[in-house]
Structure formats: C-alpha cells, structure tokens
Structure 1
Amino acid sequence: MAASSDILSLKILENMFMNILQSCKTMNKLKKIHTQIIKFSLSKTSSYLVTKMVNICDQHEQIDYAKSLFKEVSHPNIYLYNAIIKAYTHTHLNNSLTIYLYKQMLREQISPDNFTYPFVIRACGGLPDLRLSKQVHGHVLKYGVESNIVIENSLLDMYVKCGGVDDAHKVFDEMSQRDVICWNTVIYGYTKVGQMKKARELFEQMPEKSVVSWTAMISGYTRVRSNTDALDMFHMMQRAGVKPDWISLLSVLSVCTQLGALELGKWVHFYAERNGFLRKTSVCNALIEMYAKSGNIEQAWQVFDKMLERDVISWSTMVGGLATHGKARDAIRLFQEMQKSTVKPNEITFVGLLSACAHAGLLEDGLRYFDSMTTDYNLEPGIEHYGCLVDLLGRTGCLDQALEVIKTMPMKPDSAIWGSLLSACRTKGNLAMAVIAMEHLIELEPEDTGNYVLLSNIYADLGRWDGVSRVRKLIRGKTMSKKPGCSAIEVDNVVEEFVSGDKSKPFSEEVYSMLELLASQRRILNDFDEIVFEEM
C-alpha cells in the first residue's frame, strides 16, 4: 500500500508541475520551476515533465539547457527522445548530434515512430550523407512508418539534398498519394543536377502547378545556361495566369543579364516595383547588375540610390558597373562612401575598384587600394586582383614592374594575366617582353589564334616583317579553331540568338535570303557609285 501511495503522490506532483509548465512563457520562469522539480527528484525520473521543459527550451532556442535537462533523465522514453531530436534539428547546426541521439535511442531498444523520422531524415539531408540516408530509409521501412506523407516528403527532400535524385524518384513513384510539394521536390532535384529533360517531363505531368513549380524550371534552365528555354518557361508561366514571386524574378533577371534583354528587364523592374518586391535587397541587386551589363548604368544607379538596405553585393555590383562603364572616379567615390557605411568591402568589391583604377590609369590609387586589402581589411588578394594590378601597371607603362608581379605572385598566373601583359606590350612597343608573354600563352592556350594575331601586330607595328612572316607560318602550321561569332537580338520580349554558320533555326532560310538580298543591293549601289564617279 505504501508503494502505491508513493506512486500516486508522484503522479499528483507530475500533474501539478505540468499545469504550472503550461503557463510558462520565459526561460527564467522555467529555471525556477526546474529547481522545484529537482527537489522532488522528478528531473531524473519523469520523462513526462522533462519533455515539456525541453519543448519550452526549443521554443526559446535554448538547446544547451535542453541538452542538460535530457541528460538528467535516467531512462528517457520515446516522447522525450522525439522532443530533444526535434530541438537539435531546429538549430540546423547539430545534425550529427541528432543522428547520434537517434542511434542511442535504437541501442536502448526504443522503437521510433512517425514523429521521430521527419526530424532524423531532415538531419540526414543537412549532413549530407547518401549512405547514411539510405540506412535511415531502410529503418523507416523496417518500422513500417513510410506510408505517412510527411515522412515520404521528408525522404524526397533528404535524397535531393544528398544528390540522390534517382532514389528520390523511386520514393516518388511508390507514393500512394502525391501533393504539389513532392512533385516540386523531385523536379527541383533534377534541375539541381542539370537533368532538365527529366525535370521537364515531370513538370508536364503535374496535375497542378504552383509558382514554386514554374520557378524551379526557370531557375533550372538558367543554371544550365539554357536562356531561351528559361524565357519561354517564364512566358508560359504568364500565359498560365501564375503571378511570379520575387524568386522567379531573380532567375528571369539573371537571363536578362546574360542575354542583354533590356526590355524584358525593364518589365521585370516595373512588375517588382508594383508588387513591392523592391523591398528585397536581392531583387534590387539583380536589377543593378542587369542594367549595368545591359549598358544602362544611369538606371542601375537609380535603383541603387533608392534601395532601403544595401549589402556588400549592392555596393560591389555598383562599383564594378561604374568601372566597366569607364566611370572610374565615380567608382572610387562610391567606394569611399561605402567605407563610411557599416558594410565592409569584400574581394569582389576590390576587383571592381582595382579595375576602375586600371582603366583610368590611376597608378598610385590602384597600388594603395591593392595594399589596403590586406592591411585594412585582412583580405587575401586572389588571381583576379593580381590580374587587375598587372593590367594597371601595363596600362601605365610599368612593364618591368608588371612582369615582376607576375613572377612573384603566390599563385600560378593564368592566360588572362599573360594576355594583359601581351596587350600592354603592343601599346608600349616592347617586343622582348611580348615574346616572354607569348611563350607562356602558347603553353596555356596553344590553340587561341588571338594571341598569335596580337604578336603579329606587334611585329608589324615595329616594322619587323620577318617576325610577322614567322608568326603567320606558325598559324598556318597549326590546326587552330576559333569559336564562332554569336549575337542576339530582342524582339517583342523574345531573344533570338544567332551563331555564325548555324542554319538550324526554322527561319534560317528567310534570314539568309534577306542577307543575300541586302548584299546584292549593296553591290548594285557600289556599281552605281562607280559609274557616277567615272562620269564626273
């Protein structure tokens, strides 16, 4: 009777403390309640109470306190394990510990349930470890909880994050019911690894498409640089009456930037402004880049000037855009303004800044900013920064210093750096150094005809026709390939790409016929001009 009485007393205490915990809203109050629970030795024996306390800790992101609570319990039950596993998973930094707890639970012969696996599976996706993921999937099958759609969607997400998109597709095929989330997950998985054909097949089969579905396809085509398909998908999305979200706009702006589709980019800008997306810093950054690379630096500046918040990408993109457009002084002034802000420059900022100094021939400024990277910002110059420095020294006639920088830089110089030196050698007429640069370029890119032509021009500028002849013989003696020219034109928000010699387009015959007509008209006009000239 005494034992029964003690058990009853403990139950009464548990219920009393649980009622108190129900109204607990702060960690300070929780700690006070915990102190009282310890006095009755319930912190070691009551998984019931500790589970509730761990959940409160999870709500306040106090994982360390939750961990200490869990360790006090002598024999935690499935509910407590689920609570601590969930808390670990929410931090996104303790995926390995989540898996450790899961294995510990199995060692203690506590069977997982439907509430265990969504978080364990999420931890697997966060590691990511495909072998471990397959083991956990095997456990899901073993304990018979895979028919839960939440767990099945978690498995899909896990496999996609671990690079096992084919495994995800197998899970998808075996699902008894599918919602739009599972369709989107598998489609995204294929777009992530560049398998756009499989992604498109699934996309076409979808019974219902969400904005996420369309965005996944647009982003996927953008990722594999299939820009025309990305724009086609965007136009299909509009015709389907689906309103793009800000993530969709980022993908479309990326395509506009690559193709120079300024008119479509302007439409995106208008749409973003009308729908409040300009409050998103990333959207503004994409607009700045699009305008800068499409030749409209003034519009890029207007977007930058109106931004509510600017991050390092905002400043770096604007500095680089000004540099590219020959506005070196403006780029430097903007960098100086950035120095007064709370945003610190990064490596990309300095690429734009040093490029501005190089194009403007600002030697002292460029050297000072190059040194400032390490002395003021603890940034290690990369090959791009050394390339800007060599370009700066070459443009200002300091060829010996440029060659010394190339010889002493901490990484192996690439073809862009040697090419920059070769170009400077032509400007300054330094044949001896041009030959040195050319020797390295032949080693790095032996099939590039541009380097040989540049060296030939240097010989020609100096009247060294014997050298010109030798270089031309070298060109004729090699089977050098040249990338065909490519151009693009935007008509009615549709961008058409044209590659030299390509006749695969359905309208190619009409295009070439028109070109022939224009050429014949030009020949007639030339003949007419000659006749008139002779008569005069």
Structure 2
Amino acid sequence: MARAPRPSPVPTLLRLLSSNPSLSAAAAAHAALLKSSSLSSAVPVAATALLTAYANAGLPGAASRLFDEMPARDAVAWNALLACLVRHARAGAAAAAAFRGMAASGLPPTPATLCTMLKACAASRAARPGRQLHARGVVSCHADADVIVATALVDLYMSCGLVEDAMRVFVLTRCPKDAALHNAVLSGCVENGWFSHAFSMLRQRTELNGISLTSALTACAATANLAYGMQVHCKALRGEFDSDTILCNALIDMYAKCGRATAARIVFDRMATRNVVSWSSMIDAYSCHGHGVDALDLFKLMEKAAPMVLPNAITFLVVLSACGHSGLVDEAQSMLHLMKSKYGIDPQPEHYACLIDMLGRTWDLYCSLTASRNKSSSAIFVAMLNTCRANMDAARGKTVAVRMLEVDPRNPGIHVLISNFHAAMRQWSESNESRRIIVDTGLRKEAASSHVCFG
C-alpha cells in the first residue's frame, strides 16, 4: 500500500510568518523552507514571505542576503526588497540601486513600486527624483488612474512644499477620490500654511473622519478661528469621534490658541484616555494664559497618574514656561531638579533658557521697583538676594548687596544676609568682612529674628 504524499509545509509556514513577524519565527521558518527546498523554487512566494518576515523583525541585512540568494525574482519580490530598504532608512543609494536593478531585470515598475519609492522621496524631500518617478509612472502604469499612487504623489509634493503641484495631481486624478487622498491634500495644506485652501476643501466634503477633523482643528488653532473650531467640535461629537485621543488633543490645542482655557480643560476632563501629549497640551494651555499655579496643580495630578503616563522633556518645558509666565522662580528650580533626579531626563538648553529668561525678567522687575526707592524695597532686596544666592549669581548678588548697604548700612540683619550670600558663593574673605563690620561697629542683631527693616 502506497503512502499518501506528505502535505507541503509551505502554506503553514507562510501563515506563521504573517501572524508572527519575530526573529525566532523567521529563523525557524527559514530552516524548514531550506529543508523542503522551497527557497530554490522558480516561484518565489515562500522566499518573498520570508524576506518580508526578516524585514518586519528588523533585520534588513538578512532580508537583502536572502534576496541575493533567490534563484528567481518577480515584481512582488523586488517590491518586498524595496519596501524593506525604505522602511529601515536605507532609502538612499541602496533603494535607488534596487530600483535600477528591477528595471535592468526587465520588470517595469508596478504601482506598489512607485508608492514605495515616492515614500522614500517624500521622507528625504527629494523633489527632483520624485518628479522623475511621477513621469515614469504616468507612462508605465497610468499613475493618474490609481488613487494609491495619486495619494503618494500628493504626499511627496506636500512634503517638498510644492502645494500647487500636489493640488494639480489631485485635480487631474481620473479615478474616484477616496478619503485617504482627500486627507493627504487637507493635511498637506495645513502643514504648508495654506489654510484658506484647507477650509475650502472642508466645506466641499460632507463626510469627515478623525484624520480630516484633526487637520481642520490644527488649521483653526493656527488661525485662531474659534467659530469654525467649535463647528468642527460639533461634527466630532455627532460622528462620535470625541473618544479619539489624537483628536481631543487637537481640540485642547485649538481652544487654548483661541483663548478658551476653560473649554480646553472641559475637553481634557472628559477624555476617556489621556497620553503625555494630552497632559502637556493642557499644561501649555494654562501656561499661555498665565495660570502658572493651575499648570503646576495639573502637573501634580499627572504625577499621580504614573506609571500609566510619565512626563517627558516637552512636559517639563511647558511647566517651566508656565512658571516663567507667572514668576514662580522657586517652583521652576524645583522642576528643573525634579526632571533629572526623579525622571532621569537631562535638561536641554531650552529648559535652562526658560529659567534664565525668568531670572532676567525678575532682575528687570527688581530694577524698576528699586529705582523709585519705595518703602517696599526691604522685601524686594531680600527676595532678590536670596534668588541670586540660589542661582549662584555672584555678579547680580553683589549689586543687590551694595544697594542694601546704601539704604541702611547700620542694620545688622543686612550684614548677616550679605555674609551668608558671600559664603554661598565661596567668597570667604567678603563673608568674613561682613561679619567683622558687625563686631567693629557694635551692631547687634535681634535674637531669633530674621526680619530686615529699612528706615
């Protein structure tokens, strides 16, 4: 009795590769396909699937080597290689060489080929090679009749700032235009500042999805168009897109840019899911309107939401900005320390710039108040000297100290504060000199009192 032929393992392996794009799965499938001689087949279905699996597992080198070993390559195999090279940031010489190799093998580019290469050109903002691909696509596969290629062309031209060319592609596309193509044009107009065109497209469309609504809100925020932004909000509610986190983040930004921090907070409080952008956007909304205390309170709530959501460098930047707009110097210093000590985020130049700008405005305020020699100068001098000490600003601290001595040189509390300031600056001789003056002049500081009173 003859044995029944064993079923081919290829279909099972292909299903495994498509459902589990991991290194272990790819390696196991590779071994099994080699054993079954499937990789040497003239029909490169199995080899192409394995190539894609290596690409999905983050191994473009293994994918390229496998492609070089394939005895036969069809357009699908070439497209899989191109997609792998572009996906893993090898979209320059390697992708161009593969594209030329495909042409040299006698295979014309397919719509999938053009989309992949146009994506590479868009990522590198390479307009000239993109135009060449456009011309080749019109000749070889009627690119103006393929909505996916048209969308890729619009993305390319919008990425390169060539809005008129993108609009021309949109108008001349002969096939039915889908939502993806409309969204590509809409988002491209918004990114390039063509807001009037964006609003015109929105008025022409009756069906809007989450992507188009988000683009509309971005345009409303950029132009401070509250009336239209509220209409978009209503459309989002009617379409039940209000549970979309990205769209809600855009709503928060729109209301903040239009001067409605309270409305932004209502959207924030009603969000089903918040990410770090949600928290940072709401804190920034408070910052832009001078509500520094509210921004800090919200940041404390964000800390309680950890570890679900953790602040990042941008979060701390908007918190520092909020402190700066409200003159919260001590709180800003605490935030700068917290971001490194608790969250392991190294402050960048822009974080220090916020604090420096804040201290600079504090100094300008000090100068304007003390110029009038008013009776409130006591608290101003003490606060300013303490700020200079906390920030190790020896030059400005010395200026404040000289001014304090000019106002009331016989106040012992002044000399103690100045001595402590110089000690913090490690200026030991100046610190000892302030103490010596107290002894030599017979000044006496009141016990258990740090109150400084100027005449």
TM-score calculated relative to the size of structure 1: 0.62
Q: CA deviation at 1:104?
A: 3.0
Residue of structure 2 equivalent to 1:224? 192
Question: Hey, what does 1:180 align to over in structure 2?
Answer: 147
Cα deviation for residue 320 of structure 1 reads 1.2
Q: Give the residue type in structure 1 aligned to 2:311.
A: P
State which of 295, 299, 313 in structure 2 corresponds to 1:347: 313
Once the two structures are superposed, residues 242-291 of structure 1 have per-residue CA deviations (whole angstroms, 9 ceiling, x without a partner) of x2221112222111111111111111111111112111111000110110
- For the pair 1:115 / 2:76, whether they are aligned, the reply is yes
**Which one of the candidate residues 136, 139, 143 is aligned to 2:101?**
139
Structure 2 counterpart of 1:53, from 13, 16, 20 = 13
CA RMSD of aligned residues (A): 3.0
The equivalent position to 1:197 in structure 2, one of 155, 164, 171, is: 164
- Structure-1 residue corresponding to 2:431: none
Aligned residue for 2:6, secondary structure, equals helix
**How far apart, in 2, do the equivalents of 1:289 and 1:257 lie?**
7
Letter in 2 for 1:130: G
CA distance in 2, matches of 1:182, 1:350: 41
Q: Which residue of 2 aligns with 1:40?
A: none
Contact 2:121 2:130 (C-alpha < 8 Å) held by counterparts: yes
Deviation at 1:360, TM superposition (A): 2.6
* Post-superposition CA distance 1:440-461 (Å, at most 9, x none): xxxxxxxxxxxxxxxxxxxxxx
Task: Give me the whole-angstrom Cα distance separating, in 1, the residues matched to 2:329 and 2:67.
Answer: 61
CA distance change for structure 1 residues 286 and 168 in 2, over 3 Å: closer, same or farther? same
Q: Distance in 1 between matches of 2:287 and 2:123?
A: 39
8 A Cα contact 2:26 2:54, kept in partner: no
C-alpha contact 1:146 1:152 (8 A) present in aligned 2: no
Unaligned segments of structure 2, at least 5 residues: 364-383, 404-455
1:100 maps onto 2:68 in alignment: no
The answer to whether the aligner puts 1:299 opposite 2:271 as a matched pair is: no
* Whole-Å separation in 2 of the counterparts to 1:258 and 1:406: 40
Q: Which moves more between the two structures, 395-404 or 159-168?
A: 395-404
Q: Does 1:250 align with 2:218?
A: no
What letter matches 1:14 in structure 2? R
Distance 1:244 1:229 in 2: 16
Does the C-alpha gap of structure 1 residues 263 and 308 become closer, same or farther in structure 2, counting only changes over 3 Å? Answer: same
The alpha-carbon deviation at position 54 of structure 1 amounts to: 4.8
TM-fit CA distance, 1:400: 10
Report how far residue 129 of structure 1 moved: 2.1
Q: How far apart, in 2, do the equivalents of 1:302 and 1:355 lie?
A: 22
Partner of 2:441: none
Paired with 1:154 and 1:111, the residues of 2 have a C-alpha distance of 21
- Asked if 2 retains the 8 angstrom alpha-carbon contact of 1:133 and 1:159, the reply is no
Query: Which residue, out of 212, 215, 219, partners 2:183?
Result: 215
Name the counterpart of 2:230: 266
CA separation of 1:306/1:265 partners in 2, compared to 1, >3 Å: closer, same or farther? same
Deviation at 1:154, TM superposition (A): 4.2
8 Å CA contact 1:331, 1:356 repeated in 2: yes
Which of these residues, 373, 379, 401, is aligned with residue 339 of structure 2?
373
Amino acid across the alignment from 2:355: L
Structure 1 residue 150: Cα displacement? 4.2
* Post-superposition offset of 1:146: 2.7
Alignment of 1:340-489 (within 5 A): 340-341=304-305, 342-397=308-363, 398=384
Q: Is the 8 A contact 2:252 2:267 kept in 1?
A: yes
**Aligned partners of 1:168 and 1:186 also within 8 Å:** no
Mapped partners of 1:348, 1:95: distance in 2:
33
Match of 2:6 in 1: 14
In structure 1, what is the equivalent of residue 27 of structure 2? 67
Task: Judge conservation of contact 2:158–2:166 (CA < 8 Å) in 1.
Answer: yes
8 Å Cα contact 2:108/2:140 also seen in 1: no
Check whether the contact 2:321–2:354 (CA below 8 A) recurs between aligned residues.
yes
C-alpha displacement of 1:62: 3.5
**2:253 equivalent in structure 1:** 289
Which residue identity does 2:96 align to in structure 1? K
After TM superposition, give the deviation of residue 50 of structure 1 in Å: 5.2
Q: State which of 73, 85, 103 in structure 2 corresponds to 1:124.
A: 85
Offset from partner CA, 1:353-398 (integer Å, 9 cap, x none): 1222223332322211111011011111122211221233334444
- AA aligned to 1:97 is A
For 2:385 and 2:321, locate their aligned partners in 1 and report how far apart those are by CA, in whole Å.
17
Equivalent residues of 1:122, 1:158 under 8 A apart: no
Q: 1:257 is aligned with what amino acid?
A: A
Deviations 1:324-344, CA, capped at 9 Å, x for gaps: 212221111111000000211
CA 357–80 in structure 1, closer or farther in 2 if over 3 Å, else same: same
Q: Which residue of 1 aligns with 2:51?
A: 85
Question: Which residue of 1 is the match for residue 371 of structure 2?
Answer: none
Counterpart code for 1:170: A
- What is the total number of aligned residue pairs between the two structures? 362
Shift of 1:233: 3.1
Residues 96 and 123, structure 1, Cα contact 8 Å, conserved in 2: no
Counterpart-to-counterpart distance in 1, 2:182 and 2:25? 43
- Which string of whole-angstrom CA distances, capped at 9 and with x for unpartnered residues, describes residues 52-75 of structure 1? 325414313333232233146265
Q: Report deviation, 1:316.
A: 0.5
> In the superposition, relative to structure 1, how do residues 159 and 324 fare at CA in structure 2: closer, same or farther (>3 Å)?
closer
- What 5-or-longer segments of structure 1 have no aligned partner? 19-48, 409-420, 430-536
Distance 1:400 1:233, change over 3 A: farther
